[in-house]
Amino acid sequence: MNALLLRLLLPALVPVLGWLAPEPLAEPAPETAAWVSLTGDAEGGLVEEGETVTFTASVRNSSRAPLVATLEWELITLAFDSPALEPLRIEVPGRETRTFELAVPMEGPGFVQAEVSVLTEGARSAKRRRRRVGCAPDEVLFPLTATDDFDAFWERTLEELAAVDPQVELRAVERSPAPRSRLYELTLRSLGDVRVRGWLQVPLAKGPHPAILRVPGYTQTMRPLDDADDAIILSFNIRAHGNSTDDVPGRPIDYWLRGLDDPDAYFYRGAYADCVRAVQYLCSRDDVDQERLAVWGASQGGGLAFATAALDPRIDLCIADIPWLCHWEGLMELVSAEDRSDVERWLEGRPGRTVEGALRTLSYFDTMNLAGRIQCRTLMGVGLQDPICPPATSFAAFNRVEGEREFRIDEDRGHGLGGDHTAWVMEQMLAEFAR
């Protein structure tokens, strides 16, 4: 699988969720001389229970005149009730830097994000910086939100999927120069008789081969790899993504709000079923090694990977990076009011809609509630500073997995993990497939 390792080092596994965006770390606006940075003294971004983290805000005055400003701290966390912190009036002499500290005891498992804002007199907006640290991430747990009919809901969904004839279509795609694998465009029928597609790459050598199901991030179009001669690769597009838009449109980009009034009509009921259908197809092939089947995705794809491994026990390795679709109640608490604007518009779109109603629908698709079904080995990578999929929500699902699990945290990365993480994943996959 070494050739596969090299080819998978640079896949586009980092989608951007349209309803949230990280705040840019921009230079100060011209009207102010303040520059702000924020650090935490947790080594590697993590501390032990009972330790105290000290956040340090550095405010630099790049002008000759004294700088007068208001400095405010805010703590954002699910680990404890955040205290109200009083604003502080600060003065920084010309061409100098002053530091201001905030000590935060970490009494139990969880993550805490400190935000510092500095509003200079006469400035139109404050300069903000954020920094997150964690404590005992493998012990982070939140109460499940599954309803009494949760299991029955998914049993019924899988029965409905089984009643749909997949009507498999394979269209050979010619490539040059001569490749080391055959490429096909695969078309399947999924829940609701919806057509979904993906790109299937089959090595020329005789199997059976390990198989990898690659699932997309939010709005991501999955495309075939350059070549794949040592594993069967299915780069799969769920409904409304990539080449799977015949029956479910890709626009507008509001997938997570579609059908939110009713669990049976909700977008991710079909999307999760699409992934299960893809697994069913792979397992129907004689050239697939049934003991070496992996699912891999990032962001939305990480959530899809969790859901796929939960709903189809034939998955042998689940790789869920920076996963979304986890712990919806916690996510709603962690995002800002501005980031919840899509929800507000949805609530205003029809009388009688409530946040409680939305969360009830979402509970059926919350991978935190599904993860207890996962028996296979599971890998997860997170960026500690991720503003889109906060680590607390990712670990809410990951720590419910019943199978062997392993995680990596990158202290400085946000919603993206880079090639070094991909290389680590491939090393783990090679080891798993060699068992």
Distance of CA 387 to the CA centre of its chain: 10
| Integer Cα distance of 286 and 331 in angstroms | 42
Q: What contacts 24+ positions apart, CB below 8 Å, involve 61-66?
A: 61/33, 61/34, 61/92, 61/93, 61/94, 61/95, 61/96, 61/97, 62/28, 62/33, 62/34, 62/35, 62/95, 63/33, 63/94, 63/95, 64/94, 64/95, 65/33, 65/94, 66/91, 66/92, 66/93, 66/94
Max CA pair span of the chain: 76
Q: Exactly one of 386, 394, 410, 421 is catalytic; which is it? A: 386
Number of other CB atoms surrounding residue 18 within 10 Å: 14
Tokens of 368: 């935190």
Tokens of 338: 């501005």
Cα-Cα-Cα-Cα dihedral sign, residues 244, 193, 317, 44 = positive
Q: Is 209 a catalytic residue?
A: no
Compute φ and ψ for 206, nearest 5 degrees.
-70, 140
Q: 191: number of CA atoms within 13 Å, CB side? A: 23
Contacts of 345 (CB under 8 A, 6+ apart): none
Contacts of 148 (CB under 8 A, 6+ apart): none
Number of other CB atoms surrounding residue 2 within 10 Å: 9
- In eight-state DSSP terms, residue 5 is H
Q: Exactly one of 117, 299, 363, 394 is catalytic; which is it? A: 299
| Integer Cα distance of 334 and 393 in angstroms | 9
Determine contact, residues 164/140, Cβ cutoff 8 Å: no
Q: Is 415 a catalytic residue?
A: yes
Q: Exactly one of 209, 241, 415, 421 is catalytic; which is it? A: 415
Q: In which residue are the tokens 């796929």 written?
A: 308
| Integer Cα distance of 5 and 111 in angstroms | 33
Q: Is 299 a catalytic residue?
A: yes
Which run of H or of E encompasses 331? helix 328-334
Q: Give whole-number Cα distances, 177 to 7, 22, 126, 174, 309, in Å.
A: 17, 41, 56, 10, 36
| Integer Cα distance of 47 and 52 in angstroms | 8
Three-state helix/strand/coil letters over 101-148: EEEEECCCCEEEEEEEEEEECCCCCCEEEEEEEEECHHHCCCCCCCCC
Task: Indicate which residues carry an active-site annotation.
Answer: 299, 386, 415
